[in-house]
Structure 1
Amino acid sequence: MDATADVVVVAAGRGTRAGEGLPKQYRPIGGRPLLRHTLERFLGQPGIRRVVTVIDPAHAELYAAATQGLSGAGGARLAAPVTGGATRQASVRAGLEALAEDPPELVLIHDAARPFVSARLVADALETAARHGAAVPVLRLVDTVKRWEADGFVVSGPDRDLLRSVQTPQSFRYALIREAHRALAGRDDLTDDAAVADAAGHRVASFTGDAANLKLTTPEDFVGAERVLARELRDLADVRSATGYDVHAFGEGDHVMLGGIAIPFGRGLAGHSDADVVLHALTDALLGTIGAEDIGFHFPPSKPEWKGAASDQFLRHAVDLVAAKGGRVAHLDATIVCEEPKIGPHRQAMRERIAGIAGLPVARVSVKATTSERLGFTGRREGIAALATATVRLPFTEDGE
């Protein structure tokens, strides 16, 4: 399907039923915020162009921390967050309006509290919306449904075979759902976007949902989510490590770039890009884990667009390639070899910057430094070298591809 498709992720609520503490979309599961898991699922889909998140402005710092370093393996990008409204309907409308300047043909609307959306659901959502204009994922009901009365008794309910539970992502032609939301802006009784489309006179098609596409609402749901992530981690049984090495000579300048940090110094490092030996070595190490050539293959110095380029995009590209194979970066380690400048005062800033680029907790990044005891070119203060090791987890396949 060639239609442009964007995603609106609704994350402006507080989720009080999840209990005390952070708003539920920022609570950790598997050591990372719930919202980050949700966004990563969409950013990793090749059919998605752009993802916009609707947030409460009071949560701006939580959002920034949760999304630090996020990028998309399929070319998707994370747009700036949008301020939500007093209701879910108002928040969705704000997200849709944020896309209006460069509108997509199709849009998916998804609850941030569903972090396990699958590639199959995304593909079916796009395909069904392209054919019918409006579509939702549905599941057959397992339990019998009864009508509850105020006296505490129940009476016979509707025919279960004619009912379905509805999930997100709900998918639409962008113009259709935007105009429906605009027309019904005063309504406060519409609980989802399918109801908005239906109230505006549009028929809503359905496609098969996914029982694993859980919505986290209660504390018990978060316990279940941890179990799901533990199972997913067990499925990433192919653990690989690879090394990288880079060196650059000193040249003119007033700072050196190391680990994504500009360190004031009396000289610079000579190179076609910003000559960040740490990020270059880490990039090669990651590329090595998936057999994806080396940094020169992906970003050849013969190409003028890489002259002076910031090396964070090289490392991010390698992380995206791992993600595109269904993998996850587990750990990054770098050792810097130089007589000067002093690395110690900048070590933590480097760790934080690398973690942000790679989308990792800082605890999964190590930066070390040593000298060469005045031996060799580093000992003669002619340049800086860096060695790196990357460890990733990939789905196991018989052929290793």
Structure 2
Amino acid sequence: MPKPPRTAAILVAAGRGLRAGAGGPKQYRMIGGQTVIFRAMEPFCRHPQVFAVQPVVNPDDTALFTDAVRALRHAPPAHGGATRQTSVHAGLEALAPERPDIVLIHDAARPFVSADLISRAIEAAGRTGAAVPAIPVTDTIKLVGETGDVEATPERARLRIAQTPQAFRFDVILDAHRRAAHDGRSDFTDDAAIAEWAGLTVMTFEGDPANMKLTTPEDFVREEARLAASLGDIRTGTGYDVHAFGDGDHLMICGVRVPHTKAFLAHSDGDVGLHALVDAILGALADGDIGSHFPPSDPQWKGAASDRFLKYAVDRVTARGGRIANLEVTLICERPKIGPLRDVMRARISEITGLSISRVAVKATTSERLGFTGREEGIAATACATIRLPWND
């Protein structure tokens, strides 16, 4: 059985996006409650066949970039150049020490790339060495002269609209970029054109009409409306968890190691906050509960870190084409005091889920010394998750 190719991705995000109007670089604007660049990068970061994601950004945008994708794992960003071509070349050189077999090159202005399209790109590159996603042209195209006169009508059946991610064997596209830079060529508008110039045969594979590029203000308005309509099935789930205390010196709460005089008695790490959130998300999906997916009778989950369970629940939402809109957890305990750690916990949940921290709430209350939490015998947690799913789910 041959090993799967080591696949990396480059996210090109150094442009200024002037045609998109006021509001700063378009890749850092919001669409559907998330930044454009987060939406464009997240599917690559979560794809099981992509081992590294290499962003390429304008050095002036470093703070914007860091804030926008804080919850995603990626390589340190490379600095882009004056053209898309030089930016891609910078990303390729940054990836060279990792020696990937295949590289996917994607524009940050395309925030609706799907996991299926990424998989098709990897398969096409492995099969052909150079391939681009393409969709048929549905309108008649006219070749127009400088004075506005129609010079020709190309045969529509042979025309295609090229998209990204464009996929290549890493060594051949890096060589092509190096040759173009050496020859002073900087006028290529996409990587397929560089590959063609270098003598490679570039194949096409099935693109995705939803994989739209955001270019103008009208694009933002249209796609915002489409997202609202397509993810209009809003669902809410609740979760509850409790764990007793035993001997130990720390607790895991909402993904944060909290020093304490006790530890949780639990099969996993006992993180009541994350467990309640997992149940809330699964409840919103009508997809069982944490015990049905991670039974405590299974020894593989003994001592397991609960961030794995939460990532799994988030992936269940993503797999159904949905998005998490909001997460809230309430911790019920006398000690430890949660207030000083609230924002650290919110940040950790944000990191695990890929959700903006503004969509994560952590609260705490006591039970006024009543019951098992009042006697400091354990901690309880409740949670609520709001998700958006496609209407056809």
In structure 2, relative to structure 1, the CA distance for the partners of 1:124 and 1:260 (3 Å cut) is closer
Q: Does 1:79 align with 2:75?
A: yes
Q: Paired residue for 1:388, among 359, 383, 389? A: 383
Shift of 1:47: 4.1
Partner in structure 1 of residue 87 of structure 2: 91
Q: Does 1:269 align with 2:269?
A: no
Q: Does 1:147 align with 2:144?
A: yes
Using the alignment, how far apart are the partners of 2:342 and 2:95 within structure 1? 40
Q: Does 1:217 align with 2:215?
A: yes
Q: Does 1:373 align with 2:368?
A: yes
Q: Secondary structure at the match of 2:382?
A: strand
Q: Does 1:364 align with 2:359?
A: yes
Shift of 1:290: 5.0
**1:302-332 CA-partner distances (Å, limit 9, x unpaired):** 868964x654344223222332333322332
Q: Which runs of structure 2 are paired with 1:29-48 in the superposition (5 Å)?
A: 29-48=31-50
Q: Does 1:328 align with 2:328?
A: no
Partner in structure 1 of residue 68 of structure 2: 66
Shift of 1:24: 0.7
In structure 2, relative to structure 1, the CA distance for the partners of 1:290 and 1:108 (3 Å cut) is farther
Q: Secondary structure at the match of 1:40?
A: helix
Using the alignment, how far apart are the partners of 2:390 and 2:46 within structure 1? 15
Q: Does the CA-based 8 Å contact 1:242-1:391 persist in structure 2?
A: no
**1:59-78 CA-partner distances (Å, limit 9, x unpaired):** 222222221223xxxxxx63
Partner in structure 2 of residue 170 of structure 1: 166
Q: Secondary structure at the match of 1:202?
A: coil
Q: Does 1:318 align with 2:316?
A: no
Give the TM-score of the pair, scaled to structure 2: 0.85
In structure 2, relative to structure 1, the CA distance for the partners of 1:147 and 1:396 (3 Å cut) is closer
In structure 2, relative to structure 1, the CA distance for the partners of 1:285 and 1:164 (3 Å cut) is closer
In structure 2, relative to structure 1, the CA distance for the partners of 1:238 and 1:227 (3 Å cut) is closer
Task: Give the partner amino acid of 1:230.
Answer: A
Partner in structure 1 of residue 104 of structure 2: 108
Q: Paired residue for 1:3, among 5, 12, 28? A: 5
Q: Does the CA-based 8 Å contact 1:44-1:324 persist in structure 2?
A: no
In structure 2, relative to structure 1, the CA distance for the partners of 1:312 and 1:118 (3 Å cut) is closer
Shift of 1:132: 2.2
Q: Secondary structure at the match of 2:376?
A: coil
In structure 2, relative to structure 1, the CA distance for the partners of 1:286 and 1:163 (3 Å cut) is closer
Q: Does the CA-based 8 Å contact 1:244-1:389 persist in structure 2?
A: no
Using the alignment, how far apart are the partners of 1:144 and 1:85 within structure 2? 32
Shift of 1:215: 1.0
Using the alignment, how far apart are the partners of 2:180 and 2:364 within structure 1? 61
**1:310-365 CA-partner distances (Å, limit 9, x unpaired):** 54344223222332333322332222111223333443443343233322234433
Partner in structure 1 of residue 52 of structure 2: 50
| Percent of pairs with identical residues | 49
Using the alignment, how far apart are the partners of 2:24 and 2:262 within structure 1? 44
**1:116-136 CA-partner distances (Å, limit 9, x unpaired):** 223443343333323322122
Q: Paired residue for 2:254, among 243, 256, 259? A: 259
Shift of 1:256: 4.6
* Aligned residues: CA RMSD: 3.0
Q: Does the CA-based 8 Å contact 2:243-2:265 persist in structure 1?
A: no
Q: Does the CA-based 8 Å contact 1:141-1:164 persist in structure 2?
A: no
In structure 2, relative to structure 1, the CA distance for the partners of 1:310 and 1:68 (3 Å cut) is farther
Task: Give the partner amino acid of 1:15.
Answer: G
Using the alignment, how far apart are the partners of 1:97 and 1:248 within structure 2? 52
Of the structure 1 ranges 77-86 and 163-172, higher mean CA displacement relative to structure 2 is found in 77-86
Using the alignment, how far apart are the partners of 1:52 and 1:257 within structure 2? 32
The count of aligned residue pairs is: 385
Task: Give the partner amino acid of 1:68.
Answer: R
